Amino acid sequence: MSIRTNILMRVYLAFGLVLLFAAAVVWQLCRVQIVQGKKWKAMATTLSTQYQTVDAARGNIFDVGMNLLATSVPEYELHMDMLAAGIYDDDVFNEKVDSLAMKLSQLYNDKTEREYSRMLREARKDSLRYFLVRRKVTHQELKQIRKFPIFNMGKYKGGLIVVEQNKRILPFRSLAARTIGYKNENVKNAVGLEGAYAGYINGESGKRLMQRIAGGIWMPVNNGEEEIAPKDGADIISTIDVNYQDVAQDALKKQLIKTQADHGCVIVMEVATGEVRAIANFTRNKEGDYQEKLNYAISDAADPGSTFKLASYMTAFDQHKIDTNTLVNAENGRYDMFYKGRLLKTFRDAEEGNYVITAKKAFEASSNVAIVKFISSHYGDNPREFTDNLYNLHLNEKLGLQIPGEAQPVVKNPSNRSWSKLTLPQMAYGYEMRMTPLQMLTLYNSVANNGKMIAPIFVKEIRRLGNTVEQFHARVINEKVCSDATLGKMKSLLEGVVNEGTGKNVIKNSLYTVAGKTGTAQIANGSSGYGVQKTYQASFCGYFPANHPKYAMIVVINHPTQGSYLAALVAGPVFREIADRIYSSDLEMNQAVQVHLVGNTNMPKVKQGNQKALKQVYTKLGIKPLYASNNTTAGGIDTTNGIAFEDINYKSGVVPSVTGMGLSDALYMLGNAGYKVAVRGSGAVISQSVTGGSLIPKGSKIIIELQ
């Protein structure tokens, strides 16, 4: 082959490859443009715009009296399009931007007018289309901002972009906070009613079209408006009574501080319905303060101690092993148990002094020795007969609560590997088992409820737009926990504890009757177990009024370190205070109480304040309002048949005197007089920064101190 031919072949081959490559490029371009055109166009669109989720306003949670426990309030994030149509001209923007800066500075008082002006001008210089002006803007603030210069030109011309968000708030703050719970995306960690009923409360999310701009920032295409509007969540009507909850938390916290305990809980339940009216839990933190961190009432399964004697006596009575008058030698509070000549354990009572006593007296005195002897002598050869009855009471099963976190109770039987010769006698008075306070309360509630055991409930109803979606009623666990004869004996024993036994000096009172049982249990102290440093749990579980039970309650205080550790002295005062305050507020329970008037029975003078609210109270109470004229003071009126008060005449620019008033009345007075109020402290007003009667312009700020 000649050199010329060889060169031509190489040229033709190279040219052919170039043509082939060009043809491949053309073919691929056609394929992308024609065959796959729709696919790539859609992808390009999604890269620059996309629909993003808009959370719905979560449903409200109410207490049993329809007071708001949790709600969602709108909160706004404000952005600004610096190239909006109305301010596209630099002259228009420069003319009004300083006025806008002044208004923002006056409203928030966090930056000077010059700083706001510089911030806005720099954003304008950078041609930002989605400049963040402010986060966490309230609805009232937004109403004012819409009237500011530039922003009052309208949402398209003025460039104001409002993004609405929902903020969850608890109007009563810490009241029942752990039971209300909070939203958590991880279902496994659902907490309280917010977590358990998230499917109802969350509502249905909407969609908003967002566009990605320079810097990777996403901004709404339609000025913050949703393309698919979210649907608000359903409302939850809980069984909690916010007033009882307040009483329970206050009494528990005071006693925890007094005894310097580690933690504690209180549960108040309505006997007939199983509705939980109050549930309080407090834990001491590192700083020594008490906060609601864990729901001990439903999650803390521990040895219940002597409160469990209710189940032991109930079993022995129902199986005709003993009766209330059966005698037992309590050995002066010390009993050595032997097995084949070997000492197994020495059982002790909290107090000495009991010798030969009846079963009723032994229960009232909370004798450990007595119940150990009763149960050991009658069930020692067949312990399964005892444990089977506990299982028939369903004490080994969860209650199946409406909120997550319930601990599994542990009630042993002879088949358990850990069963020993000591297990039966120790179970008799509440050891070698695990039960939560709510599980124990459910047992006591069954006695108050004439033998019917029902599972506690926390939610009564679910409503959407005012219409009932679902209603809940207590589930019956056991129609009859024992015979009527045994039930009568147990009621007598529980009343005897308060009238003659361990609760006599603390819980007994003359206005209403209480039935219940004290429980002082030694609990394991971490890795050291039941070591040298003893740790106790004090509890009282019962119901009231004993003759016609309406409420059942349990108080548990763990590891008190100041003063006594005995249940009557630690848990008893909390039970008494809560029961007293509930009884005093429940007209159904105390309507038969005779009122004895002592001394001056004239009705008191009412402080100045919201007269409309006062009149409403008078109407409800059937009290006649007595008016004082300008020439006659309220104190000079005969208040035998009514309550006197004076109408307040507000004068523009004259500061009213609010010293001695409560916060709501003080705010009402000063607000109606046209002044801004700053509050310090809590309680009643002890001083005000501007003396009453002073002449100062409306809109001025007045500081009031409360104590």
What are the extents of the domains in the chain? 3-35, 52-238, 245-590, 611-706
pLDDT at 643: 56
Task: Say which amino acid occupies 572.
Answer: G
Distance, in Å, from the CA atom of 1 to the CA atom of 347, rounded to the nearest integer, reads: 118
Conformational region of residue 185, where left means phi above 0, alpha means psi within -120 to 50, and beta covers everything else: alpha
Distance, in Å, from the CA atom of 371 to the CA atom of 321, rounded to the nearest integer, reads: 12
Residues linked to residue 266 through DSSP beta bridges, in sequence order:
280, 555
Residues linked to residue 339 through DSSP beta bridges, in sequence order:
342
Conformational region of residue 444, where left means phi above 0, alpha means psi within -120 to 50, and beta covers everything else: alpha
CA distances for 701 relative to 658, 662, 690, angstroms? 14, 19, 9
pLDDT at 661: 83
Q: 595: which 2 tokens?
A: 């009122």
Regions of the chain with pLDDT less than 50? 46, 187, 593, 595-597, 628-640
Distance, in Å, from the CA atom of 292 to the CA atom of 280, rounded to the nearest integer, reads: 8
Class of domain 52-238: alpha beta
Place of tokens 């919201």: 610
- DSSP-assigned states of every residue in 357-407: EEHHHHHHTT-HHHHHHHHHHHHSS-HHHHHHHHHHTTTTS----SSS-PP
pLDDT at 632: 41
Q: 58: which 2 tokens?
A: 């979560």
Distance, in Å, from the CA atom of 543 to the CA atom of 548, rounded to the nearest integer, reads: 9
Q: Using CB atoms within 10 Å of the CB of residue 274, give its burial: 0 to 12 exposed, 13 to 18 middle, 19+ buried.
A: buried
List % helix, strand, coil for the chain (3-state, nearest 5): 35, 25, 40
> What's the CATH number of domain 245-590, 3.30.465.10, 3.40.640.10, 3.40.50.620, 3.40.710.10?
3.40.710.10
pLDDT at 1: 60
Class of domain 611-706: alpha beta
Q: 123: which 2 tokens?
A: 């954003």
Angle at 421 between CA 415 and CA 427, to 5 degrees: 75
Q: Whole-prediction pTM value? A: 0.71
* Three-state DSSP class for residue 463: strand
422 C-beta neighbours (distance < 10 Å), count = 16
pLDDT in tens, 489-514: 999 999 999 999 999 989 998 889 99
Buried b (16+ CB within 10 A) or exposed e, 492-513: bbbbbbbbebbbeebbbeeebb
Q: Give the phi and the psi of residue 81 in degrees, each rounded to 5.
A: -90, 105
Place of tokens 């059982």: 347
41 C-beta neighbours (distance < 10 Å), count = 10
Of 529, 619, 517, give the one whose Cα is nearest residue 568. Answer: 517
